[in-house]
Structures are given as C-alpha cells and as structure tokens.
Structure 1
Amino acid sequence: MDYALHEVLEVQEMTAFKTLCLTKSKTMKGLVSDEELKNILQQDVDTSTRQLQEFASILSKAKPN
C-alpha cells in the first residue's frame, strides 16, 4: 500500500510513544502492590502489545516512495 512519507513518520512516532508506554507499564507493574492497579497495568501491557503489532504490520506494508 502506498503511504505518504508523513503518514509513515506519524506511525513511527506513535510506535515510539507506545513502546515507551509499554516499558513504563511493565516496569511499574513490578513495583506496585495493589492488585487492582496491577490488573490495570497488565491490561495496558496487553493493549500496547497488540497496538505495536498492528503498527508493525502497517509499517511492513508501507512502500517507500
């Protein structure tokens, strides 16, 4: 699929942001003792992982112009 350069760059920027969110949630999950907060952080880890897989799929299909 043909994407404009700015679209590819935006997906790369979102990927970088979600990677940071994933790292933070995984790290914080190991530091908290509240089970409800751990569950929320785990949900964020799962969601971020799924989103990063979707971004990777989009980027792998992007044809350079």
Structure 2
Amino acid sequence: MKKTYGLHETLDLHEIAAFKTICMTKSATMRGLVSDEDLRQLLEQDVQLSTRHLQELDALLANVNV
C-alpha cells in the first residue's frame, strides 16, 4: 500500500537525499586523498552508512503517492 505524503514532506525527503549524496561523495573522494589510516577508516564508515541511509530514503520515496 502506498503512503500518502504531503508535498512538503516529499520535497524534504528529496532535499535530505540530495544533501546526503553530496556528503557521501565528499567522503568517498577524500578517502582516497588522506594519508592517516584512522581518518580513512572513518571516511569509509561514513560512505557505508550514507549508502545505507540513501537506500532507506530511496525506499521511502518509492512508496510515495502524492
């Protein structure tokens, strides 16, 4: 069953997804440039977590019926 979200809620989901994508892209790019192993691991964890969050946001957006 499709959920009905208000237009502002749908736009908010899109805005969060766009921001999370930018943050993930920055972390993925910086991961290849840093020399500190601890920082590299933190960036890798951020990329993995962001990927999971984006998949969850995608699932929410797929069920939107405006």
Q: Shared fold by TM > 0.5?
A: yes
Q: Indicate the SS of the match to 2:16.
A: helix
Gaps of 5+ in 1: none
Query: Aligned to 1:11, which of 10, 13, 24?
Result: 13
Query: Structure 2: which 5+ runs fail to align?
Result: none
SS, match of residue 33 in structure 1: coil
Alpha-carbon RMSD: 0.4
- Alignment of 1:53 onto 2:55: yes
Question: Under a length normalisation based on structure 1, what TM-score does the superposition of the two structures give?
Answer: 0.97
Matched with 2:23 is 21
Percent of aligned pairs sharing the same letter: 53
CA distance in 1, matches of 2:58, 2:21: 12
Q: Deviations over 1:8-65 (max 9, x none)?
A: 000000000000001000000000010000000001001100000000000000002x
* Inter-partner Cα distance in structure 1 for 2:37 and 2:43: 10
Give the helix-richer structure, 1 or 2: 1
What SS is found at the alignment partner of 2:32? Answer: helix
Inter-partner Cα distance in structure 1 for 2:52 and 2:4: 23
Q: CA separation in 2, counterparts of 1:6 and 1:47?
A: 26
